[in-house]
Chains A and B, each alone.
Chain A
Amino acid sequence: MYRERERRVWTGKLWWLAGVAVAFVFPLILSQYYLFVLANIIIMAIVAQGLNTMIGWGAVFSFGQPGFMAFGAYFGAILARELPFLPFPIVIILTAIASALLGLLIGYPCLRLRGFFLAMATFGFSSSIFVLINFLRSLTGGNEGMYAPPPAIGGISFANTTNIFFIVFLIGLLIQFGVSNINRSRTGRAWRAIRDGEIPAASMGINIAKEKIKLFILGSVLAGVGGVLYSYLIGYLQSDFFSIMGLSFFLILVSGGIGTVWGPIIGSFIFMMIPQVFGGMFSQSMNLVYGVILIGFVSLAPGGVYQILGKLQSVVRRGV
């Protein structure tokens, strides 16, 4: 039995390595435009994964993701602009640390609240970040926005889409690997236990306040890292980019499947492909399409695509 478990761990790791190899296949088969779209899908999935860990595991309803994403994007871009000698992996790591600190600062008071009130408090945080960005004109360019430097190491920049796609893909894969490992760890179990019931979780000896803050920090870090990657991909920053994202992450989670490790990726794919598919017909009323899809999922399959796949599987099995 032990040997079987070891083998499973091994094959599991091999799959992740195969994922790295897949990164090199995409540029061969996709045009630059679709590489850009795919990179964008992965970035949205990273930020949505942050929300997924908060809502899906800890029942922490945060509307703060767009704010943290904007913070990460601006922090990374300003850092790279002021200190151009910093290699981009360092910029990403510093942004992650700054996002974690901000997450702690915001999470500590906010997590005394629950449900609707927590949602309002984090929504307020997000809104004030956008106001702050527009207000700090000298630093962020205010309403006109600012130019975001491309990822660079020692003066060599990786400005083209293919390079940025690689960076985004590898970081996305790393995050996915990390999240699926945390999910199965002691901490991940504790988070899911909190989601399932705070009273029994407390009676297991879990310090609920502390675990929720950890969860909030993880969500903030993922949003911040997503933000930096977004600044690399777009090359230009404006607070509007983030303020209109408002409910996007909820749509991504609901369509993909809340609380599942791969749900955010599936959901992000659906979310980003909708304009590609319906763009011609409904270019003026894209929000209507999103709205219809959101209502459809919530009322017919609240577990998202994951739930639909599960149902299909059982239907097929019964058929055979």
Chain B
Amino acid sequence: MLKLNSISCFYGKVQAIRDVSIEVPQGSLVSIIGSNGAGKSTILKTISGLLHPRSGTIHFREKEITLTKPEEIVRLGIIHVPEGRLVFPELTVRENLRMGAYCRSDKNEVRRDEERMLETFPILNQREKQVAATLSGGEQQMLAIARGLMASPAILLLDEPSLGLAPVITERVYSFLAELKNRGTTILLVEQNAMMALELSDYAYVLETGSVSIKGTGSELLSNDDVRNLYLGIKVDVTSVNDTIERDYLGGQKDATSK
């Protein structure tokens, strides 16, 4: 459904992503994992039109959207839930939900979705009339996702939904994502929290300093030694980790560190 074909993107002179190709089939959950600054958020921003790639193409349902404006991309049903729960702090919870449906014209459906969303997230229902700034981090994340869903997205782009949340709350967010996936929503998920993301993913990409280093199904990556070492914090074989670090980061100069 969504296809990125060897995208490269720059911030000024700095290359943020390098020759990245990603495919998200209809109804699947695909995730991009990787450490801080690997370019994960940049990919999402490029898809939603906030940034334009220097080379490569993006296709959505066979239509090229590489240089389309953000508001038109939203109208196509590509909904981006940005990193850091950017809810509207001075708008009430209900108003935030309505903003999600800004581009929709089917008023009655919107009303029904609004009630459905409040039913799905009882905590938001309780705080319906409060301004979003008074919500806790987890509640704001729920609100941001619910707001994204209010747009009745064809594909949902989620940027680090677990960022800064307590583990218990993260689990709740993820159990909701699992439910969404079962309902057939197409999701492209970006995460540092690799374990949770991979357990849920149909397919996943590992991003390392701007390019895809490993890809495979969620379960393949979960059992991949490199992924386990570097992203899941499971020490399979210490020497192989040291070798990897030596090869990738120290350029083979082992002596430099031992001094």
Contacts and interface: CB of A to CB of B under 8 A. Distances in A.
Q: Is B truly associated with A? A: yes
Interface of A: 186, 189-190, 192-193, 195-197, 199-207, 259
A193 B71 contact: no
Interface of B: 48, 50, 70-71, 74-75, 79-82, 86-91, 95, 98-100, 102-103, 147, 151
Contact of B82 (A190, A193, A200): A200
Given A206-B102, A207-B71, A200 B88 contact: yes
Contacts of A196: 88-91
A190 B91 CA distance: 10
A189 B74 contact: no
A205 B91 contact: no
A201 to B, nearest CB: 8
Given A189-B98, A193-B99, A200 B151 contact: no
Contact of A192 (B74, B88, B100): B88
B89 A203 contact: no
A205 B86 contact: no
Contact of B70 (A189, A192, A202): A202
B80 A205 contact: no
A192 B50 CA distance: 21
B75 A203 contact: no
A192 B90 contact: yes
A205 B74 CA distance: 5
Given A204-B100, A206-B71, A199 B88 contact: no
A140 to B, nearest CB: 42
A195 B102 CA distance: 16
B86 A199 contact: yes
A204 B96 CA distance: 10
B151 A205 contact: yes
A20 B182 CA distance: 57
Contacts of A204: 74, 99-100, 102-103, 147, 151
A200 B98 contact: no
Contacts of B88: 192-193, 196-197, 200-201
Of A195, A200, A205, most buried by chain B (CB within 10 Å of CB) is A205
A201 B100 CA distance: 9
7 contacts: A189-B95, A195-B90, A201-B88, A202-B71, A203-B80, A203-B81, A203-B82
Contact of A200 (B86, B90, B103): B86
Contacts of B147: 204
Given A199-B50, A203-B50, A203-B70, A190 B90 contact: no
B75 A192 contact: no
Contact of A197 (B80, B86, B151): B86
A190 B86 CA distance: 15
A199 B71 CA distance: 11
Contacts of B103: 204-205
Nearest to A202: B70
A203 B99 contact: no
A203 B145 CA distance: 13
Given A189-B91, A193-B91, A200-B88, A205 B75 contact: yes
Contacts of A195: 90
Given A202-B71, A206-B102, 9 more contacts: A192-B91, A196-B91, A203-B70, A204-B103, A205-B70, A205-B71, A205-B75, A205-B102, A207-B71
Contacts of A206: 71, 102
Nearest to A206: B102
A304 B50 CA distance: 36
